[in-house]
Structure 1
Amino acid sequence: MFFLPKRARPKTLCLLVGIVMLSLPGYAQGIRGTLQDETGKPLPYATIFVRQIGTGTTSNENGMYEVALDSGHYEIIYQYLGYETAVRIIDIDNDLRDVNVTLKPQATVLPTVVVQDGKEDPAYTIMRKAIAKAKYHTQQLDGYSARVYIKGAGKLKDYPWLAKKTLQKEGIEKGRVYISESVSDVKYTRPKKFEEKVISIRSDGKDNNTSPNQYIFGSFYEPEIAETVSPLSPRAFSYYKFEYLGTFQDRDYSVSRIKVTPRVKGDNVVDGVFNIVEDWWSIHSMDIHTTRLGIDIYIKAVYAPIEDKAWLPVSHQFRVDGKVFGFEFEYKYLATVSDYKIKLNPALYVETDKMEVVDEKIHKQEARQARAAAPRRAPDNVKQLQERLSSGKEITRKELKTIMKDYEKQELRQQKEPEVISETVFEVDSAAFKKDSTYWASIRPVPLTPEEVKGYQKSDSTAEIEARKEAGDTLKQSKHAGFQPWDLLIGDSYKVSKHSHFKIHFPMPGFNTVEGWNVVYKVSFGTILQDTNKTRLSITPAFRYAFSRKVASGNLKFMLRNKVYRFEVEGGRYVRQYNADEPILPIVNDFMTLLLEENLMKLYERRYVDVLYRRNLSDFVSVEGTASWQRRHMLQNTTDYKWVDRKSIEDYTSNIPVNAELPDTSFPDHEAVTASVSVVTRPWLKYRIRNRQRYEVENSSPTLSFTYRKGISDLLGSDVDFDQLEVGAKHAFDIGVRGRLHFAVRAGTFLNDRRMYFMDYKHFLGNRTPFSTTDPVGSFRLLEYYTYSTPDRYLAGNVYYQFRRFLVTSFPFVRMMGIRENIFVNYLATPTSQNYTEVGYSIDGILRFFRLEGAVSFQDGQYRDYGFRVGIASYLTVNFSDN
């Protein structure tokens, strides 16, 4: 979590000019000055808003500000959270005026709102009205455009002593400030299209995924923003408690201060203060805090009434603090929005936005009168809403909610792609990285502090030295460009052409009781295309040598794929686990055999040709067909080599699996031709579009599947004859505020099993190792790998529930570390499984990366076994919505 130097400035003269320009005033015309409180203390990141042109900026850490203005008459508004707003009327005429402003502490008046019967805090009435109108605010504008300036400054505050030499080698210094700046033109088109064009970027480091753009370009009027539940969400009362702190006056607006407190502290919720404009029921400003995987994010934002029609954000301030594995860091971001141009939605336009929303829960008499005055609902509810608002009549929260829902439904019916919930277009101007110091001095709305100037100076000097080093090394590198002999041992990638590459994979050694030590050597050739609609090609040959068997084998895989289809052909001679889903990773099997003397991976050999074709018939339905010819050969153990000789274990177990339904799973050499067809549908799938590419919204629809698999007898000498049907469903969804439920279920049967071998049985993802490496939803923790494999009927179900607060997570400091608790239940029914059931508990996110599980198994309700497992944190490795 720290910045790395990236770019160089080639000329010393340019460097010196840049240093001078950073410290000079950037504008020849406008206003500049300092904001301070009554004691003379500077007010950092105060908001300065120019009403006539919809432009906002902020002061820097020292309270200094500067705004470029054309000649004219302006109303300048100065705002700082906790202080009274100041307004200055300024005439600009070809000069740069100094305007220093002193702000007074804000006077907050306690309730003008009277506490009602039942002693409910007045905050709940205010928030009910604001929540009721939130959807209106999201639909109020047909669009807007603006310019956004973002400045980020970050530093590494501390790091482990073991990393000191590495960081010094990379040029990373403790306490040094690394800076990035960008200017973007943004455009929003209702209901869901957002366009951003980056016109300039200057950076001496990386943001390491701390960018606040999700918050800057999101909206707290939406139910969620950056995966965080908004206090204006319809579900807000389930997630938050509210407290009325009083009302203050900002020019002609009365603003209520509302304290927001999560009912359960942790990720995806906020705490702090929301300021709500009375009568408008819109956001005035906020000072809040949230966490993400134990990292603190502090947010301050100020809104302004653009053209006196809509309250939109004009400045944001962010601070990101965290400590990960001894690396302590701090990032500060500042975003200002200027040059707002808005277009109102004519369907919802009214002369005044001071909508009188009646809270029927408190003001029962007023609500009855409002309902009595309202006409019966007509088909054109939008017109009805506009007429009532224009006439100044009251409207209840429920009426507003109902009318807005109807309005959205009408719009959805008119849209071509109602399943698309958002569309973004992101573009970087070709000259964005080429702007010099003079440009930044002229366009920068927030003056740099001396510390930030020093950071740019140091980064430019470092970049100059690195550029010279790289230039000096060019000849040396060119002598050894391309393939190196040692690449055969360690692997490497090579760019063959603009759209293709060649890769030598690292030779991966392994061990099992059938082959002894073995090594897999693989190379691959593929195309690299930015446009995912175009077809990509990959060809991957692999060579494998088994030292104990003294057998060489290999295969070749050919693949074509794009957004619509995937076509694969693979063939050769290779070993394979009896369960084609490969429940045991080779590296885990190495550990189990060499150190624990447990031979769990069961292998057979096949000479084969596999063909797969998958096609998306629509956005919601895909179909896949497979065909395979195989000549199968049974394998036996060939070695008893081990690293640790445990006296309690005599020898490795046989390579022949043990099964409850098939006493002898061994088989003679034979041929098999099999085929399958699968249909997968996600009927309610939603998409986000980014740069014309569609991306699925995770868990927006359950995944339903149907599979038919056939063993075809007498074709190409095939010795198998069976038919199998399977249906399945998988999904994840929130259950209120308490947690998230994931489930998977699969059920199937063999219509006939006239001729089958053990690898044709239905197998399940069991586990007898200390490690959990498969999907937490869809796998078992203690089940033997092959004992309950079946050629008959079966049902397998998995439920995985993640709590927001349970046992150890009942302590807030534990939740703030990113820890999550889960319980899971796994069930298997086959003719011999005796209602096999697992019940387990896990702690997820230990040290942010690991998961510790404990499970107990039962058969027919009787205790059977227990065990503990270690895995990678589920949110890092598993997409629960995957098929």
Structure 2
Amino acid sequence: MIRRKFYITATHVILLVFLSSSVFAAVIKGRVTDENGEGLPFATVVEKGTTNGTSANGDGYYSLEIPDGIHNITAQYMGYQSVTKPVNTNTEKGAVNFKLNPQALEMKEVVINGNGEDPAYPIMRKVIEKRKYHADLVKSFETDIYLKGVFRIRSFPKKIMGFKLSAEDRSEMGLDSSGKGIVYLLEEYTKYFRQDSKEFTKVVSLRQSGDPKGIGFATMPPITNIYENNFPIIDGISKRGFISPANSNAFLYYKYKFMGSYMDGDLMINKIKVTPKRKFEPLFSGYVYVVDDEWVFQSVDLTLTKESQMDQLDTLKLEQTYVPVKKDLWIVQSQVIYPVAKILGVEFAGSFITSYKNQKVNQAIDDKIFQDNIISAYDSTANDKPISYWDSIRPIPLDNDEIRDFKVKDSLYAIENSKSDSIKKSSSTNLGFTSFLFGQPSVRRGKDTWSMESILNSVAYNTVEGLNTTLTLNWNHKINDNKNYYLQLQNRYGFSNKHYNALMKFNYTSRDDYWRGRNWSLNVYGGKYVYQLNGDVPITPFINELYTLIGGNNYMKLYEKSYGKIRLGRNWGNGFSGSAFVSYEHRMPLENTTDYTFSKSNRDNLTPNNPVNLGTFETHNAALAGFALSYQPGWKYIKYPKFKSAQHSDAPIFTARYTKGIPNIFDSKSDFDKWSIEVEHEIGLRLLGKVNYKLIAGGFFNNSYVGIPDMKHLFGDQTFLANPYLNSFQLAPYYRFSNAEKVYGEGHVEWHLNGWLTNKIPVFRRLNWNLVGASNVLYINQDSYYAEVSVGLENIGAKFLRFGRVDVVAGYESGKGKPSIGVRVGLGEVLWQILGISTGPKD
């Protein structure tokens, strides 16, 4: 049993099935039904005494490949008596059907009184005693996998957010007149290898409805190891993972009830009901079936709900069936996961089944399979298999609506693809009124696109320029799919200081044809423009505009420079990236030229454009050169049919930066050596949440002449909106701690509790809002330091729209006895990008 990392999106969930690649001589087919003739969905059918098995489809139909000869075939389903039939492939011509009756349970003769305990407890105590043995039992594992994953819409409202969908819209989505239908369907056949901590998946073939070029899932959804203390099932639905019913401290979390026992062959199986002791904990409810004397799970039927602290799904059901390889060694035969979610009135329900064949346990695997950090590789013909191929290897028959979905959507894909090819060759124009006002008006002709920024993004106000307008014109030329160049001209005029500035930017990007994520870029800048004294841009022009006009707080401090700059960037696609630049700048100070605010009383709050504590800004020339290098070890790769893609690791990210001010070049006055080294990391603590930290050491080897723009500026914040947390100080004045000292230290740490503690508070546990604690520290010397501590709530929102965060922050500054107190509201990465909020240092 193994656990794999797996990622879930808002529109579909992922899981799968193991399959055999051995050569068989016969195929038996049939149906598994209950006592009333109703199909038992995903029942297990296995060749007795082997690991050769399959699962039925949603209607109970199955298909199993077996060698020629006489074999005993067993059909089993949780809660029903298993049935075994002898099958002779030489004489068997018709369907091999199984009719299963409900399992009759026998109660042990145990009297439960006020001082006794339910007989389930001694059984589970023995299972827990052997938990670690079973968790660590599988050292190596090799198997074939077949996946069939389907996501259906069970109900669809007539309107979504006020918009009514027509019958044609529903039909294009694959829905019938009642609003039901398949929205995602995939079958995939892979070979999987694991040895110790090394894993490799070979994707042999895949078929995705409506997308013949689909890439499916490069790495399999997890085979949930029920014997681990804590496991995620699917990454993305819980930041804390879920507590196993066999957890070492399970009696602190679960109640158990003995439901009875029954004989399955010569094995006694105990059925035990599992119930959480407390609501709003990451716990399961359902049933586990324990093999007597071996104290191992024969199968599990467990369910998670919103009260289990899932972030995105409403319910998730996990079913697993195991088969014995030998005494005390049971491996998973099939796994089914049923996710259900309701979003904006649309109810999604999935069934993702993985079936395993040709399992080899604890046998040596050739190390050549685990080479070059490749965790998954696709066969070059993975997408090209004919329908006859799938019909010959598919162990789980398709349901009728699945057959129809493949036919209809594959045909529609061919039609739409031919339409899109013709559209690509044509030109397009987007010059409507709303585009000019809110969006980005554009004209495309072949490989060239001309555009400009919207009017609303082109008008601003500050106390230096007063009302200012910017006309931004863009030209993008696409050389091919991986190479393009981009030219931008920014024209800016300040009506109060009567300054016209123009800046030209040229960018060339070349992406590797084969290695996704590997690229290099060339940037060339030239002209005269207005910039913030702190080049990391701690406050956006829009937010500064609001604070200036409404409250008289002109936090943004500006200067003007004429310059030329060349920057070369390279990402090797292996966790290592770097950039280098050279520039020559003529820098000029700017002064406030207007004191306009909405209220005259607020004008007294306005401050000079040059921060008083930084001294006088001198007009000077600066010749600069520098580089930045970043490395994260442990990256792994996936080899798709036509390209290779890197996968980030969980290791720390190390970054080094260096900038040199070069004196006496064309009257350059700058003379300094500025450096910094950074380490950033995220540490998962499972039930206790996670810790994120960023540590920085830096300073100036040489500070003979450091211009104000070159100083070390704190990434401060004086607005109610929080700046990106691990890069900023939430209460620090923007330029209070600017310096050119030899050495400084900076640290940021956050503890995201991810529901721990708040799941004990009645209101918050239903909202699923989580506690977060943080601290930020800057230390220059014993007379100059600053520290913050904060506590807040995050994950504010509902369903998939969870981005809000609110913190109460206390700031402690050297020389001040009382801390400053403030509240900061975080908007999340997406809104930070929309508002143009910087997320970190610029190189």
Report matched runs for 1:643-792 at 5 Å. Answer: 645-650=598-603, 653=606, 656-660=609-613, 662=614, 664-665=615-616, 667-678=617-628, 680=630, 682=632, 685-691=633-639, 693=644, 695-698=646-649, 700-735=650-685, 737-772=687-722, 774-792=723-741
1:639 and 1:106 map into 2 onto residues whose CA distance is: 87
Name which of structure 1's ranges 623-632 and 230-239 shifts more when overlaid on structure 2: 230-239
Residue of structure 1 in register with 2:300 after alignment: 286
The alignment partner of 1:648 has SS state of helix
The alignment partner of 1:127 has SS state of helix
* Contact map agreement 1:606 1:630 (CA 8 A) in 2: yes
One-letter amino acid of the counterpart of residue 200, structure 2: F
1:167 and 1:128 map into 2 onto residues whose CA distance is: 59
Once the two structures are TM-superposed, the CA of residue 646 in structure 1 deviates from its matched residue by 3.0
Residue of structure 2 in register with 1:35 after alignment: 33
Q: Encode CA deviations 1:127-184: one digit per residue, 9 max, x unaligned.
A: 24132232221x243x223444444433344475534425756325563121544332
* Contact map agreement 2:774 2:791 (CA 8 A) in 1: yes
1:314 equivalenced with 2:347 (yes/no): no
Residue of structure 2 in register with 1:631 after alignment: 586
Once the two structures are TM-superposed, the CA of residue 758 in structure 1 deviates from its matched residue by 1.5
1:804 and 1:690 map into 2 onto residues whose CA distance is: 31
Residue of structure 2 in register with 1:406 after alignment: none
One-letter amino acid of the counterpart of residue 688, structure 1: K
* Contact map agreement 1:3 1:155 (CA 8 A) in 2: no
1:842 equivalenced with 2:793 (yes/no): yes
The alignment partner of 2:102 has SS state of coil
Match of 1:509 among 446, 454, 458: 458
1:853 equivalenced with 2:801 (yes/no): no
2:208 and 2:246 map into 1 onto residues whose CA distance is: 40
Residue of structure 2 in register with 1:12 after alignment: none
Once the two structures are TM-superposed, the CA of residue 423 in structure 1 deviates from its matched residue by 0.8
1:177 equivalenced with 2:181 (yes/no): yes
Closer, same or farther: CA 131–258 of 1 in aligned 2, 3 Å: farther
Q: Encode CA deviations 1:438-487: one digit per residue, 9 max, x unaligned.
A: 8877776555667667x749x93x99799889989999x69x92243739
* Contact map agreement 2:207 2:383 (CA 8 A) in 1: no
Once the two structures are TM-superposed, the CA of residue 714 in structure 1 deviates from its matched residue by 1.1
Once the two structures are TM-superposed, the CA of residue 781 in structure 1 deviates from its matched residue by 1.6
The alignment partner of 2:161 has SS state of helix
One-letter amino acid of the counterpart of residue 523, structure 1: W
1:3 and 1:824 map into 2 onto residues whose CA distance is: 33
Match of 1:555 among 486, 490, 504: 504
Closer, same or farther: CA 444–815 of 1 in aligned 2, 3 Å: farther
* Contact map agreement 2:805 2:827 (CA 8 A) in 1: yes
Residue of structure 1 in register with 2:319 after alignment: 300
* Contact map agreement 2:452 2:471 (CA 8 A) in 1: no
1:623 and 1:712 map into 2 onto residues whose CA distance is: 21
Residue of structure 1 in register with 2:492 after alignment: 545
The alignment partner of 1:131 has SS state of helix
1:731 and 1:788 map into 2 onto residues whose CA distance is: 26
Closer, same or farther: CA 423–106 of 1 in aligned 2, 3 Å: farther
Match of 2:564 among 589, 597, 609: 609
Closer, same or farther: CA 209–691 of 1 in aligned 2, 3 Å: closer
1:827 equivalenced with 2:835 (yes/no): no
2:418 and 2:675 map into 1 onto residues whose CA distance is: 64
One-letter amino acid of the counterpart of residue 47, structure 1: T
Report matched runs for 1:773-812 at 5 Å. Answer: 774-792=723-741, 793-806=743-756, 808-811=758-761
Closer, same or farther: CA 60–342 of 1 in aligned 2, 3 Å: closer
Residue of structure 2 in register with 1:49 after alignment: 46
Residue of structure 1 in register with 2:194 after alignment: 190
1:111 and 1:780 map into 2 onto residues whose CA distance is: 66
Match of 2:523 among 551, 559, 569: 569
Once the two structures are TM-superposed, the CA of residue 343 in structure 1 deviates from its matched residue by 3.9
1:330 equivalenced with 2:348 (yes/no): yes
Residue of structure 1 in register with 2:475 after alignment: 523
Closer, same or farther: CA 786–292 of 1 in aligned 2, 3 Å: same
Normalised by the length of structure 2, the TM-score is 0.76
Once the two structures are TM-superposed, the CA of residue 101 in structure 1 deviates from its matched residue by 0.8
1:210 and 1:433 map into 2 onto residues whose CA distance is: 14
Q: Encode CA deviations 1:612-649: one digit per residue, 9 max, x unaligned.
A: 4566899677665443321112234456677xx23531
Once the two structures are TM-superposed, the CA of residue 519 in structure 1 deviates from its matched residue by 3.6
* Contact map agreement 1:845 1:873 (CA 8 A) in 2: no
Once the two structures are TM-superposed, the CA of residue 779 in structure 1 deviates from its matched residue by 1.1
Closer, same or farther: CA 474–195 of 1 in aligned 2, 3 Å: closer
The alignment partner of 1:48 has SS state of strand
Normalised by the length of structure 1, the TM-score is 0.72
One-letter amino acid of the counterpart of residue 143, structure 2: Y
Closer, same or farther: CA 103–861 of 1 in aligned 2, 3 Å: farther
One-letter amino acid of the counterpart of residue 82, structure 1: G
Once the two structures are TM-superposed, the CA of residue 578 in structure 1 deviates from its matched residue by 1.4
Residue of structure 2 in register with 1:83 after alignment: 80
1:863 equivalenced with 2:819 (yes/no): yes
Once the two structures are TM-superposed, the CA of residue 71 in structure 1 deviates from its matched residue by 6.0
* Contact map agreement 1:524 1:540 (CA 8 A) in 2: yes
* Contact map agreement 1:583 1:766 (CA 8 A) in 2: yes
Residue of structure 2 in register with 1:17 after alignment: none
Q: Encode CA deviations 1:837-859: one digit per residue, 9 max, x unaligned.
A: 34332323423332232323333
Once the two structures are TM-superposed, the CA of residue 311 in structure 1 deviates from its matched residue by 3.9
Closer, same or farther: CA 798–540 of 1 in aligned 2, 3 Å: same
* Contact map agreement 2:160 2:345 (CA 8 A) in 1: no
1:68 and 1:417 map into 2 onto residues whose CA distance is: 30
Residue of structure 2 in register with 1:203 after alignment: 209
* Contact map agreement 1:241 1:260 (CA 8 A) in 2: no
Once the two structures are TM-superposed, the CA of residue 198 in structure 1 deviates from its matched residue by 5.8
Closer, same or farther: CA 857–98 of 1 in aligned 2, 3 Å: closer
* Contact map agreement 1:578 1:603 (CA 8 A) in 2: yes
1:846 and 1:333 map into 2 onto residues whose CA distance is: 28
The alignment partner of 1:194 has SS state of strand
1:239 and 1:787 map into 2 onto residues whose CA distance is: 54
Closer, same or farther: CA 502–52 of 1 in aligned 2, 3 Å: farther
Once the two structures are TM-superposed, the CA of residue 571 in structure 1 deviates from its matched residue by 1.6
* Contact map agreement 1:242 1:259 (CA 8 A) in 2: no
The alignment partner of 2:601 has SS state of coil
2:458 and 2:445 map into 1 onto residues whose CA distance is: 26
Residue of structure 2 in register with 1:145 after alignment: 144
Once the two structures are TM-superposed, the CA of residue 100 in structure 1 deviates from its matched residue by 3.9
The alignment partner of 2:135 has SS state of helix
Once the two structures are TM-superposed, the CA of residue 710 in structure 1 deviates from its matched residue by 2.8
Closer, same or farther: CA 41–464 of 1 in aligned 2, 3 Å: closer
Report matched runs for 1:94-113 at 5 Å. Answer: 95-97=93-95, 99-105=97-103, 107=105
The alignment partner of 1:716 has SS state of coil
* Contact map agreement 1:49 1:55 (CA 8 A) in 2: yes
Residue of structure 1 in register with 2:538 after alignment: 583
Closer, same or farther: CA 681–270 of 1 in aligned 2, 3 Å: farther
1:512 and 1:55 map into 2 onto residues whose CA distance is: 72
Higher helix proportion, which one?
1
